[in-house]
Chains A and B, each alone.
Chain A
């Protein structure tokens, strides 16, 4: 018993995880609280100090409310369901093929694609005057002018649903691949195939039941994010009315107590909506699981549904990769186009003039974006190292759950309340507030990326260093961190990428005064200047890619890589 005390005494970092988690959860709770008050009538900044339910009645009576709620549910649930089906189908159908090797190679970089620039690129592809219509016109469509069709921003949110599906299915494929890497499924899969199960069905029957529990939290995160998406919904979603999250943002933007309190009520509602939909999903999982048991033991070796899921997966994953690549290409084309009239599929003339002319616009945007992202990623990586060093080497389920809280709650539900905290600290609209707010969303990803290589580092290395007389800090600085250099670089690059892509946290913590590439890309998406939008969105895409590439190709200690990955 005594020894347990010794180990803790020797660990000078023991209180760190509690402090870091408090720094993460504290502001979120404060933010929720700060949103709850105006939802029930207390909004002293705008002169309201009477407790009441008026905000709720105003919300429910709002003519936009019912439609916004429906669009939110349909796009959020629909996109998650489609993305998961595609992900499962793609991995089931392709898991042993050569195509899968290429698919895996493409996955990681597409994840670094910020939602905002993906949305802008998607819009430039799918709009009535977009690249797809140009390629097909007029020879196939007969359109002499861009058609007057509501392809983007259609009232039912179809474009939003498709874009969310294509973006999120890649993330879920990556999560499935990572989960598969941790299980010893190959032998079981082979034995199922020797019993005559066709590969797709073998994977669905043997692997999926094992892997699903491991991707459950990422699926919930996708569900919550799709229900609460703002940037992609502003660019591609319907406008009158938009889904709940952008509608709430509109109301917050009105400087009168009525609208702001209505927005606060809508924010609180979205917390319960998120919880309710995740609970519904959980019920659905169990129902499907129950039905699945019958299928597993039915003994049938192949089926129509498996083949259908496999095809949906292959086509969906292919479409996602093609869309992501074309989105980047179309942004590049627009940024270089000096003249590009309908219906030509390519610009008539290409020049760097847009890039040259937008230098003055671009420089401060890149400056703000990079300063915030570098600071956030350095702080988050440092915090993650301290948390892991303090002994959370193997994150337990409960701790992982804490990490997911910022990813499972609708951002809009606590960002407004958090804004009151920044206001009170006289920090609102400063880079510090933006950095700290980004930290809440960046730390979970950095910890998830870093925990596996950290755990994999041979514990005897640290024991040896300390037995040679080095204290915990010196062991960390002189031995462990240098050996973990590459995983640290990758984690920091992921943190950088996550920060660069943040839209809503930047809008709130920056109080509208701090513009980054993400906020500007969304603002420009609906504007007339596609060339400038192309330049900004392409730069927004290039930064995370550059960071990840730098982390991967930076010269590193080969031996360090080996011991870290063993």
Chain B
């Protein structure tokens, strides 16, 4: 019942303007729920709020639970909520392998860590890219590395902030399918914000509508 990501009465406001008004929804493991809305509708602020990085000037109320535990007061790193942005945010000073290893939990031993990185690269059809610099990768390759890096952190929920917006139209479909397949396979609840109806795989919620409920 309480599995997955559940938002109850989440309200976000900045400078007296309410961006998100009492939003309640629940995302089951492996499910992708999409939030549509024009820019300025508070989509990105909602993502920041959910992962714990909301700027101080925002006022927020409501509760967020993840697998039944309230995470409102937790710092970002404890929430285990992965985020994928429009840009891949690969760390430019690290190799592909180091980027991936960065996400593996700290207690994991060296050999196991390397095995997980190799496994992730294989799943993304990037075997042999361990020592490459992210700068030498194509857009599609970078997007896959970013997704695998997020997955290696074993997130309990995934937030997608228009992650396909910057990709070539030809790549876009493949990366999207790859991402949604990964989410389904790992059973991670995912929340996607976008302004493009094409990206929406399943249930869609329009933030333009007042006081929406599920």
Contacts and interface: CB of A to CB of B under 8 A. Distances in A.
Interface of A: 1-10, 458-461, 463-472, 478-479, 482-483, 485, 557-560, 562-563
A245 to B, nearest CB: 44
B118 interface: no
Contacts of B87: 458, 460
Interface of B: 48-49, 51-56, 58-61, 72-77, 79-83, 85, 87, 89, 91-93, 102-103, 105-106, 133-135, 149-150, 153, 155
Given A467-B83, A559-B134, A4 B56 contact: yes
A467 B82 contact: yes
A391 B115 CA distance: 38
Contacts of A482: 91, 93
Q: Is the interface of A mostly helix, strand, loop or mixed?
A: helix
Contacts of B73: 2, 5-6, 9
B21 to A, nearest CB: 16
B30 to A, nearest CB: 20
Contacts, number: 106
Q: Which of A4, A6, A463, A466 has the most C-beta atoms of chain B within 10 angstroms of its own C-beta?
A: A6
A165 B134 CA distance: 50
Contacts of B52: 6-7, 10, 466
B60 A466 contact: no
A466 B76 contact: yes
Contact of B83 (A3, A458, A463, A485): A463
Given A4-B56, A9-B75, A559-B92, 14 more contacts: A2-B61, A2-B72, A3-B60, A4-B58, A7-B55, A458-B87, A460-B85, A463-B76, A467-B79, A467-B153, A468-B150, A470-B102, A483-B93, A559-B93
Contacts of B103: 468-469
A82 B52 CA distance: 53
A465 B49 CA distance: 16
Nearest to A470: B77
B51 to A, nearest CB: 5
Nearest to A461: B89
B13 to A, nearest CB: 10
Given A467-B153, A468-B103, A479 B91 contact: yes
A467 B76 contact: yes
B92 A4 contact: no
B47 to A, nearest CB: 9
Contacts of A459: 53
B56 A1 contact: no
